Amino acid sequence: MKHRTLGPLDVSEIGFGTMSFTGIYGAAPDRAEAIRVIRGAFDHGVTFFDTAEAYGPFSNEELVGEALAPIRDKVVIATKFGWNIDSETGERHPGLNSRPDHVILAVEGMLRRLKVETIDLLYQHRVDPAVPIEDVAGTVRDLIAAGKVRHFGLSEAAADTIRRAHAVQPVAAIQSEYSLWTREPEPEILPLCEELGIGFVPWSPLGAGYLTGTVNAETPLAGEDFRNASPRFTAEARTANKALVDLLAAVATEKSATSAQVALAWLLAQRPFIVPIPGTRRLDRVIENVGAAQVALTVDDLARIERALAAIPVVGARLPEAVLQYSYR
């Protein structure tokens, strides 16, 4: 697989988001199978793995740490702090917490769980309005100086926040939701990343599975599946947004590819510093996603897709309001 750069980081152009192993989409595979899938991703060229203390909490970092321990020196591991989680017990409390003392404690726990001496990329998971971003960036700068962190990232941050943070500690990567049906980063965030030399990591690049064409209005979702609370996954929204799926399917047929591969190839074509992190619990899907790197979309293909997208209104907010309130601050 080809590689790309996220700021100073060299990574595979397709990464792997591991959140789905926490059961957020329903029952997760057992630990041995999860480890097999994560290691299988590496065997197929993936070198960039994404987790967070909030996934579990803690259990996903422990899983990723165990899975990647034998190949630690060959991969880049990203994790995230910022929710109000007790660093010892994992108990969740309401809201956010990026106070410097809390971040320092959080990082100590991450190092233990990931079985690493240094975290390659440390994101603030969501911007905490109670803590100036300069203080957060300064705390991460100190952690970098101490050898506990290599690079700093922000997730779902607004352009002004990114610029202010970058002035204190250079930001290597921005992670925000971005896909064919979620394009909020395009007006401000992507141009800013280009200006400042920051990489961009789209999470949910396959629209939580919808853009793969495997989810329709009749598809049952497990009771614990987070999509049950998503405005875009009501039966009405899934029906209304089918035009997106049809568009991807048509292009996929022309390219002898899958809809998921076209959706990922479209992201790769947007900027050379974009590295999507699709997540899955199945190794065959990992292999399919990695294959997106071989799908070539021409200038004409991209223009045709853009014209089609302009005529397709997306129905439903991308996240429930309770979660969306923490974005772009």
Q: What is the pLDDT of residue 243?
A: 97
Q: What is the pLDDT of residue 124?
A: 99
For residue 27, pLDDT beyond 90: no
Q: What is the pLDDT of residue 28?
A: 87
**Domain segments of the chain as ranges:** 3-209+270-294
d(CA 113, CA 263): 33
For residue 7, pLDDT beyond 90: yes
Share of the chain above pLDDT 70, in %: 100
Q: What is the pLDDT of residue 181?
A: 97
d(CA 81, CA 52): 7
Q: Return the active site residues.
A: 55
Q: What is the pLDDT of residue 125?
A: 98
d(CA 136, CA 142): 10
For residue 99, pLDDT beyond 90: yes
d(CA 137, CA 128): 12
pLDDT mean over 141-161: 98
DSSP 33-74: HHHHHHHHHHHTT--EEE--TTTTTTHHHHHHHHHHGGGGGG
Secondary structure letter of residue 4 according to DSSP: E
Please write the tens of the pLDDT for every residue from 280-318: 999 999 999 999 999 999 999 999 999 999 999 999 999
DSSP 273-321: TB------S-HHHHHHHHGGGGPPPPHHHHHHHHHHHHT-PPPS-SS-H
Q: What is the pLDDT of residue 182?
A: 98
Please write the tens of the pLDDT for every residue from 172-182: 999 999 999 99
Query: How confident is residue 247, by pLDDT bands cut at 50, 70 and 90?
Result: very high
d(CA 156, CA 177): 7
Q: What is the pLDDT of residue 75?
A: 98
Please write the tens of the pLDDT for every residue from 39-76: 999 999 999 999 999 999 999 999 999 999 999 999 99
The yes or no reply on domain 3-209+270-294 and CATH 1.10.275.10 is no
Which positions ≥6 away from 260 have C-beta within 8 Å? Answer: 206, 211, 212, 213, 278, 285, 288, 289, 292
pLDDT mean over 78-92: 97
β-bridge mates for residue 179, sequence order: 182
β-bridge mates for residue 48, sequence order: 76
